[in-house]
Homo-oligomer: A and B are copies of this chain.
Amino acid sequence: MDSTFSALRINPHRLQSNFAALSAIGATPEGGVNRPALNTAHLEARQWFRQRAMEAGLDFRVDSAGNHSALLTCTDPAAPTLLLGSHLDSVPNGGRFDGALGVLAALEVLCTVKDFGLTLPVNLEAIDFTDEEGTLVGLLGSAALAGHLTPQDLQSPRGGRDALLDGLACAGLTETGLLAARRDPATLAGYLELHIEQGPRLIQVGADIGVVTAIVGIASHRLAFTGRADHAGTTPMPDRLDAAQGAAAFTLAVRQMVMDEFPECVANVGALHLEPGAFNIVPARAVLALECRSADPSIFDPLEAALLERARLEAERFGLGLEIEFLGKHAPAPMSALAQQAITEAAEALDLRHIPLASGAGHDAQSLAPLCPAGMIFVPSVGGASHAPREFTEWQDCINGANVLLHAALRIGLHIS
C-alpha cells in the first residue's frame, strides 16, 4: 500500500464531538436514544447529519428512498462509488452506538480523506440508510437502493400499513419513490460498514476487530395455535382444547431444538399472547412471534422447516389447529472475499487483534452484498448489550473501528483503480 496513505488516521476528537452531538438527539433519561425511523428525533438526526456534512464542505444527496448521503467526489466523472455507511434510526428506546457509529465513522473517513487532500480513483459516499431497524419495513432504505423492494413489501409491512404511510408522509417520501430508488450496481465499487458487534464474542476472545464473514439469514413467522374458549372452572382438564398448551410446548421446543440440532443458529419466541385472555377462560387462541437465524445457507432452510414442523406436531399433540403466517425472510449474506481481505489487512496494518465472525444481526450490508463487494467491521460491545440504553463500546474501540474503515476503504479504492 502507498506509504502516503499508511500513516493516515481519522481525527478522534472530531469523531467524538460528532458522536456526542448526535447522541443528544432523541436522548432518553436512561442514557440511550429513541429514534425509530422517521420519528421527530430521527428526522432531526438526519437534518443534523446534512448540516455537518455541508459544514465539512461535502456534497449532500437524498435519494427517493430517503437515504441521506454525504459525498466526496473524485475528478473522474466515470468513477464508481465506494459506499460507507450504516443508519441513524434506532429501535424504540435503543442505544447510542447501533448504526450511529457507522454513519459517523463513514463521515469521518470522508472528512479525513478530504483534510489530507488525497485523490482517490473512486467517489466516497457516507450513507445513512432509511429504517434499518424495521420500525416500518426492515432494511427499507438499503433494499430500495439495491432494487429488492417490492410493492408487496409495502402492502403488509412489519409495523403496519398505516404507520408506513404516516411515516412516509412525515418524511416527504412516497411509495413510488421507494420503488424507484435502485442504484445501478455498475456504479458501485463496494460497501463497507462499521458496526458494534451487539454480542459478546469479541470481548470473550480479547479481539479488537471482527471481520464479518456473513450476515445471518432471518425468517419471521407469526403462529397461531387455535383451540376452544371454555369456562375454566367447569370444563374438566381432559376436555379442554387449550391453545396455550401448544404455544408453551412449542416455545420450549424451539430453544431445545436449536441448542441440540442447530447449535450455530438462534431462534426466538419474542411475543406471545392468549385470547380471550381472562383468568377464567381457557385460551382459545395463542399467537406467537417466531424468528430464526442462520449464517449458513445450507442450514437456514432446514432450520426454518424443522421449527414449523415442530409447531405442527405440538398443535396435533394438544388437538389444536395451527395457522402459520409467513412474515418475511432474508437469505444469509456472505460478505465478499475482497472486503474481508481489505478489512483484515487494515486491522493488521493498524496492529489490531482481529477474528472472523458471522453477524447474528441483520444489517444494510446484506442488501448490498448481491450488488457489489460488501464487508462489515465489528467492534466490541460491552456485555454484548444492544437495542437497549446500556449498549456501550469503549471509545478506543470506536476509534480503532473508524481507522479500520478508513484503511479498508483506501485498500478497496486503490484496488479498484
Binding site for B on A (CB under 8 A): 91, 197-200, 216, 218, 220, 229-239, 242, 244-245, 247-249, 251-252, 255, 258-259, 266-274, 277-283, 286, 289-291, 293, 359-362, 384-388
Q: B291 touching A234 by the CB < 8 A rule?
A: no
> Among the listed B244, B255, B274, which residue makes an inter-chain contact with A237, where contact means beta carbons less than 8 Å apart?
B255
Interface centre among A233, A255, A387 (most CB of B within 10 A): A233
Kindly list chain B residues whose C-beta atoms are within 8 Å of the C-beta of A245: 251-252, 255
- Contact between B270 and A232 (Cβ–Cβ < 8 Å)? yes
* CB pair A218 B233 closer than 8 Å: yes
A378's nearest neighbour on chain B, judged by CB, is B234
CB distance from A205 to the nearest CB of B (A): 13
13 more A-B contacts (CB under 8 A) besides A234-B361, A245-B251? A231-B386, A233-B361, A235-B360, A238-B259, A242-B268, A247-B251, A248-B251, A252-B252, A268-B279, A270-B282, A270-B283, A272-B286, A280-B291
Query: Which 9 residue pairs across A and B have the least CB separation, nearest first?
Result: A199-B234, A232-B268, A248-B251, A233-B360, A234-B360, A248-B248, A233-B361, A271-B277, A198-B234
What's the Cα separation between A247 and B283 when bound, in Å?
15
Minimum Cβ distance to chain B for residue A391 (Å): 9
Query: Given A220-B279, A280-B291, A291-B279, A234–B271 Cβ distance below 8 Å?
Result: no
Pair B271/A279 contact, Cβ less than 8 Å: yes
In contact, A233 and B362 (Cβ under 8 angstroms):
yes
A270's partner among B197, B199, B238, B274 (CB-CB below 8 A) is B274
Residue in B closest to A381 when the chains form the complex, CB atoms: B234
Contacts of A282 in B (CB 8 A): 268, 270
- CB-contact partner of A279 in B247, B279, B289, B388, under 8 A: B289
Q: Are B231 and A360 in contact (CB under 8 A)?
A: yes
Cα–Cα, bound, A252→B240 (Å): 13
Least Cβ–Cβ distance between A169 and chain B, in angstroms: 25
> How far apart sit A273 and B385, CA to CA, in the bound complex (Å)?
23
In the bound assembly, the distance between CA atoms of A218 and B290 in angstroms comes to: 34
Given A231-B386, A387-B231: A237 in contact with B258 (beta carbons within 8 A): yes
Q: Which of B199, B232, B255 contacts A266 (CB 8 A)?
A: B232
Q: In the complex, which residues of chain B have a beta carbon less than 8 angstroms from the beta carbon of A291? A: 232, 279-280
Contact of A197 with B244 in the complex, beta carbons under 8 Å: no
| Complex Cα gap A384–B239 (Å) | 10
A244 with B234, Cβ < 8 A, contacts A239-B200, A271-B279, A289-B279 known = no
Residues of B near A268 (CB, < 8 A) are: 232, 242, 279-282
Pair A361/B216 contact, Cβ less than 8 Å: no
A218: which B residues are within 8 A, CB to CB? 233
A266 touches B236 (CB 8 A): yes
Given the known A-B contacts A231-B386, A233-B198, A234-B360, are A244 and B266 also in contact in the complex, defined by CB atoms under 8 Å?
no
* 26 A–B contacts, CB within 8 A, in A order: A91-B278, A199-B231, A200-B236, A216-B233, A218-B233, A229-B387, A230-B384, A230-B385, A232-B266, A233-B266, A233-B362, A237-B266, A242-B255, A245-B251, A247-B248, A248-B269, A268-B282, A269-B274, A270-B279, A270-B281, A271-B273, A271-B277, A271-B283, A272-B272, A272-B286, A278-B289
In the assembled complex, the Cα of A80 lies from the Cα of B286 at a distance in Å of 51
